[in-house]
Structure 1
Amino acid sequence: MKVLDLQCRLGHVFEGWFASEDDYLGQKQRGLLQCPLCADDHIEKRLSAPRLNLGSRDVTEPAKAPVPSSAPAPTVADTKAESMALQAAWLSLARKIVAHTEDVGHHFAQEARRMHHGEVPERGIRGHATPDETVQLLEEGIAVLPLPLPEAAKETLQ
């Protein structure tokens, strides 16, 4: 099993698990790789640190005390952990949105207008609208929020 650090054009970093390098390349060539945060399909490998199993430390060896510092600088691991936590929070929010809204697809603008005019009961909807349709809805006083939902939010990740 190969665990690769991947990155989309927007700089989102995430892990991908593949059976082999050929599996990764095959999935990339077939367009199956997608950023779980923004759905970008332009995915590149990043350099990643190998996991080295060097054995455990001798228990008779005394542990070295950390050197105190007045203001420790954030490490790469700290930054990566923060980034991963933010990505996980965003994906969790996206899944909640999917779970509590109805996907009306490309009929979003029409359905939003129907709700606004009282033709159908109000409910949470999501779907696709062109930039022009979005501007028109806002000009009509219909509150909309463009929110790109990644495909990963619509299904369970393994």
Structure 2
Amino acid sequence: MKVLDLQCSQGHVFEGWFASEEDFQSQKQCDLVQCPLCNDHQVHKLLSAPRLNLGARPPGPARSGHDANQPAHPDAGGGSSGSAQGALTTAVVPFDQGDAALLPQAIQAAWLRLARHIASNTEDVGAAFAQEARRIHHGEAPERGIRGQATAEEALELLEEGVAVLPLPLPVSAKETLQ
């Protein structure tokens, strides 16, 4: 199994797992390799060093003197405030200048987690989004989280009617299960 560091033309960095170099090239030629964030098919390999797992734990910098399995802040996790569905937990994590290089990857990972959470907790109503949002708003359909497609004009009309909508482009990979 080859784990390759890949990058799309938009600068998003991600991993791809392939049986061999030939497998990667074959999938790339068939446009099967795409960025999980923006669906860009213009993907190229980045330089990466092989890692041999010989049973030893890889050396790593100590992180702010706290255990990785414990919340970074006493208020992060543990207690329950509000309803279980849709509850958000925030954590205060000390920022180290060495973390600055990890920031784009961390933002990308957080965005993908958010997109997958939204996709798994909403119903896709497709092109009927504006009509279904109105039905829910007027009490004609059961209240639930929905997602779909609407034109800019439809979205503005919904907002003017008091229907809360948020334009949010979701990557295709967030809507699918990973293999």
TM (norm. structure 2) is 0.64
How many residues get paired?
A: 137
Show the 5 A alignment for 1:20-31: 20-31=20-31
Match of 2:142 in 1: 121
Asked if the contact 1:7–1:44 (Cα under 8 Å) also holds between the matched residues in 2, the reply is yes
Show the 5 A alignment for 1:3-152: 3-38=3-38, 40-51=39-50, 74=98, 79=101, 81-152=102-173
SS in 2 for 1:119: coil
* Structure 1 residue 101 displacement after superposition: 0.9
* Structure 1 residue 129 displacement after superposition: 1.7
Asked if the contact 2:35–2:43 (Cα under 8 Å) also holds between the matched residues in 1, the reply is no
Worse-matched range after superposition: 142-151 or 3-12? 3-12
Gaps spanning 5+ residues in structure 2: where? 55-95
Match of 2:174 in 1: 153
RMSD, aligned α-carbons:
2.6
SS in 2 for 1:104: strand
* Structure 1 residue 88 displacement after superposition: 2.3
Gaps spanning 5+ residues in structure 1: where? 56-71
Letter matched to residue 50 of structure 2? R
Distance in 2 (alpha carbons) for counterparts of 1:101 and 1:73: 38
1:14 to 1:143, Cα distance in 2 relative to 1, 3 A: same
1:5 to 1:87, Cα distance in 2 relative to 1, 3 A: same
Distance in 2 (alpha carbons) for counterparts of 1:112 and 1:26: 43
Structure showing greater radius of gyration is 1
